[in-house]
């Protein structure tokens, strides 16, 4: 185990020799990198954080994360630009969402400046794992907060840990930008309207994992959840938001209290507006799926994954008849990707340069 005190700069040089990896065919999976970063909240304050190459955490057997699900996480990506800079997409949004997640399940929030500093530190410490420009891959950053203090009665922990790990990744859905088949899930609810579906807590994934696994066994890539109360409206897919494109070229995406507010979707709403797609967030009845001409799943991991077809009971709607994404979905995808890697201007200030320690 090697533990390094939190002296700055975390790495001594900006001359980075890349790790030897097959960048173009990376899966969306965990791969060991050089460091992860850990902060502890104890006696009312966060410490300065420690970089370590140890992948194991020591944890109290009565920690609240183990018993009562006090856990939340984030997911964001860093990209290398054509110039060789490293940039991160909208991390202020991730920082703010993590504060909301922590507050909702009564965990100690990570202040936004600390979150941003942690993301920059962990990228710099693992700079050789940032996939090269043009590879299609990115460095996925996974911050998480867990209740580490012991409790056996149900109450919030008295100690917390904020961990940031990174791993270089390729596309979330194996197919990349190739359309996927979804199935409407009617037997399992991911999240309830007054539950915690609107925050990024691990418990929502535990609730849905059996639906996801069963759908994959049946040959689908993912499920599409319905609203838990009425079972009439589309919520979202397992790990991603959903959008449809209407016959007259409008971008529509569900408004629902049990959907996780996706930063990718928020960005697409902006881009769709700029492309003249008159975006709208509203309830989408299941029947409406049969009227869309294109559809997609969106999220940091999924980027935009076009939807080929959706099966609902005995019916199936096919959007990608020739196996290819529709024109508006493709245009949105290309514009989002171009902004993320710095190929086109970024009028909204979504992309932020990660300074190297000596700059």
Ligand X SMILES: *Cc1c(COP(=O)(O)O)cnc(C)c1O
- The catalytic site residues sit at 200
Report residue 339 as tokens. 């902004």
User: Would you count residue 284 as binding ligand X (CB under 6 A)?
Assistant: no
Residue (237 or 311) nearer to ligand X, CB: 237
User: Would you count residue 240 as binding ligand X (CB under 6 A)?
Assistant: yes
User: Would you count residue 200 as binding ligand X (CB under 6 A)?
Assistant: yes
Stretch that binds ligand X, among 11-19, 21-29, 37-45, 232-240 (CB under 6 A): 232-240
Length of the chain counted residue by residue:
359
- C-alpha separations of 22 from 25, 123, 177 in Å: 6, 20, 19
DSSP 146-189: EE-SB-SSSS--S-EEEEEEEEEE--SSTTTTS-EEEEEE-S--
Give CA–CA dist 217/292, Å, rounded.
Answer: 26
Stretch that binds ligand X, among 56-64, 133-141, 261-269, 317-325 (CB under 6 A): 261-269
Q: Which of residues 71-90 bind ligand X (CB under 6 A)?
A: 75
Binds ligand X (CB under 6 A): choice among 49, 109, 149, 239? 239
Stretch that binds ligand X, among 19-27, 145-153, 242-250, 255-263 (CB under 6 A): 255-263
Residue (49 or 254) nearer to ligand X, CB: 254
Q: Which of residues 130-189 bind ligand X (CB under 6 A)?
A: none
Least distance from ligand X to the Cβ atom of residue 202, Å: 9
Torsion from C-alpha of 208, 209, 215, 218, nearest 10 degrees: -150
Least distance from ligand X to the Cβ atom of residue 297, Å: 9
Residue of 112, 101, 187 whose CA lies nearest to 145:
101
Q: Which residues contact 166 (CB under 8 A, 6 or more apart)?
A: 33, 36, 78, 122, 123, 126, 129, 139, 140, 141, 142
Residue (304 or 308) nearer to ligand X, CB: 304
Residue (221 or 264) nearer to ligand X, CB: 264
CA torsion through residues 32, 36, 40, 45, sign: negative
Stretch that binds ligand X, among 78-86, 104-112, 256-264, 304-312 (CB under 6 A): 256-264
Least distance from ligand X to the Cβ atom of residue 142, Å: 11
Contact code string over 301-320 relative to ligand X, x by CB under 6 A: --------------------
User: Would you count residue 262 as binding ligand X (CB under 6 A)?
Assistant: yes
Residue (179 or 197) nearer to ligand X, CB: 197
* Degrees to nearest 5, angle at CA 233 with 227 and 239: 60
Q: Which residues contact 167 (CB under 8 A, 6 or more apart)?
A: 29, 30, 31, 32, 33, 129, 139, 140, 142
Residue (52 or 258) nearer to ligand X, CB: 258
Residue (264 or 356) nearer to ligand X, CB: 264
- C-alpha separations of 246 from 9, 77, 97, 267, 329 in Å: 51, 30, 30, 19, 12
Q: Which residues contact 89 (CB under 8 A, 6 or more apart)?
A: 76, 77, 79, 263, 300, 339, 340, 350, 351, 352
CA torsion through residues 209, 214, 216, 221, sign: negative
Stretch that binds ligand X, among 44-52, 249-257, 258-266, 349-357 (CB under 6 A): 258-266
Least distance from ligand X to the Cβ atom of residue 265, Å: 6
Least distance from ligand X to the Cβ atom of residue 1, Å: 31
- Binding region for ligand X (CB under 6 A): 75, 200, 236, 239-241, 260, 262-265, 299-300
């Amino acid at each position: 185990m090697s533990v390094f005190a939190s002296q700055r700069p975390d790495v001594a040089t900006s001359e980075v020799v890349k790790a030897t990896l097959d960048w173009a065919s990376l899966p969306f999976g965990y791969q060991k990198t050089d460091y992860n970063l850990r902060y502890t909240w104890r006696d009312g304050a966060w410490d300065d954080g420690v970089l370590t190459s140890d992948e194991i955490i020591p944890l109290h057997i009565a920690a609240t994360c183990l018993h009562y699900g006090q856990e939340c996480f984030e997911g964001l990506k860093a990209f290398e630009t054509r110039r060789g800079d490293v940039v991160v997409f909208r991390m202020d949004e991730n920082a703010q969402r993590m504060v909301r997640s922590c507050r909702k399940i009564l965990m100690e929030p990570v202040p936004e400046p600390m979150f941003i500093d942690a993301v920059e530190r962990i990228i710099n410490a693992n700079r050789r794992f940032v996939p090269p420009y043009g590879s299609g891959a990115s460095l996925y950053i996974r911050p998480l907060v867990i209740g580490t203090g012991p409790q056996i009665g149900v109450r919030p922990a008295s100690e917390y840990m904020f961990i940031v790990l990174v791993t270089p990744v390729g596309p979330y859905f194996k197919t990349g930008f190739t359309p996927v088949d979804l199935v409407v899930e009617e037997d399992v609810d991911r999240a309830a309207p007054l539950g915690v579906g609107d925050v990024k807590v691990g418990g929502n994934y535990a609730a849905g994992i059996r639906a996801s696994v069963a759908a994959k066994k049946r040959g689908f890539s993912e499920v599409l959840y319905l609203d838990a109360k009425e079972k009439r409206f589309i919520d979202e897919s397992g790990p991603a938001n959903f959008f449809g494109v209407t016959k007259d070229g409008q971008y529509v995406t569900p408004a629902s209290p049990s959907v996780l507010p996706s930063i990718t979707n928020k960005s697409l709403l902006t881009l769709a507006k700029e492309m003249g797609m008159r975006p709208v967030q509203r309830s989408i009845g299941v029947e409406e799926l049969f009227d869309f001409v294109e559809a997609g799943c969106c999220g940091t991991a999924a980027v935009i994954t076009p939807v080929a077809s959706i099966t609902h009971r005995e019916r199936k709607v096919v959007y990608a008849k020739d196996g290819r994404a529709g024109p508006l979905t493709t245009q949105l995808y290309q514009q989002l990707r171009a902004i993320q890697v710095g190929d086109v201007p970024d009028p909204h200030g979504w992309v932020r340069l990660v300074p190297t320690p000596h700059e």
